[in-house]
Amino acid sequence: MSDDDARRELRALQILEAALEKPTGERLAFVDGEAASDAALRDEVLRLLEFAGEDEELAPFVAPSAPSPEVERTIGPYRLKARVGAGGMGEVWRAERADGAFHREVAVKLLRADVGGDELLERFARERQVQAALQHPGIAQLLDGGEDERGVPYLVLEYVDGRPIVEHCRRARLDDRTRLSLFLDVCAAVAHAHARGVVHRDLKPSNILVGEDGRPRLLDFGIARVLDPEMIAPGLDVTQGTFRMMTPAYASPEQLRLEPATPASDQYALGVLLYELLTERLPFDLEGRSPAEIERVVTGEEPSRPSETRRDRRLAGDLDWIVLRALRKEPRRRYASVDDLAQDIRRFLTGVPVRARPDSTAYRVSKFVRRYPVPVALAALLFVVLSAGILVSLDQRDRAREAADAASLARADADRKREEAETVTSFLTSMIAGAAPGGRVDREATIRDALDVAAADLERGDWTGREALEARLRLEVGRSYLGLGAYAAAHPHLQRALDLVRALPPPRDELWASAVHARAEIQKAEERYAEAEALVRELLAFREETGDEPGRIAAVNDLAGMLRSQDRLDEARPLFVEAIEGAERLGATDTLAQALNNLGVLERQAGRLEESVTLTERAIRIAREIVPPDDPTFLLYRSNLGMTLGLLGEFERSIPMVREVLDERCRVLGMDHASTCDSRTTLTLQLVRTGQAREAARLAEWNVRMLRDAHGSRHVLTSNALEIAGKLAYNAFRDLD
Just list the catalytic residues. 202
Report the sign of the C-alpha dihedral through residues 278, 279, 283, 287, in that order: positive
First to last CA, the chain: 36
Q: Are 445 and 487 in contact (CB under 8 A)?
A: no
Lay out the sheet containing 90-97: strands in order across.
Answer: 73-75, 78-86, 90-97, 105-111, 153-158, 142-147
Report the sign of the C-alpha dihedral through residues 189, 190, 193, 195, in that order: negative
* Angstrom distance (rounded) from CA 445 to CA 451: 11
Query: H-helix or E-strand containing 216?
Result: strand 216-218
DSSP 358: P
* Angstrom distance (rounded) from CA 190 to CA 139: 9
Tell me how far CA of residue 1 lies from CA of 7, 35, 119, 272, in angstroms.
Answer: 10, 21, 19, 28
CA-atom Rg of the chain in angstroms: 33
Pinpoint the alpha helices (H) of 280-389: 291-300, 306-310, 318-326, 338-349, 361-371, 373-388
Give the DSSP letter string of 86-139: E-SSEEEEEEEESSSS---EEEEEEE-TT---HHHHHHHHHHHHHHHH---TTB
Q: Are 383 and 377 in contact (CB under 8 A)?
A: no
Q: In three state form, how does the secondary structure of 495-526 look?
A: HHHHHHHHHCCCCCCHHHHHHHHHHHHHHHHC
Return the SS3 of 311: coil
Q: Please choose, from the candidates 143, 144, 148, 78, the residue with its C-alpha nearest in 3D space to the C-alpha of residue 111.
A: 148
Give the amino acid at 214.
G
Give the DSSP letter string of 676-729: HHHHHHHHHHHHHHTT-HHHHHHHHHHHHHHHHHHH-TTSHHHHHHHHHHHHHH
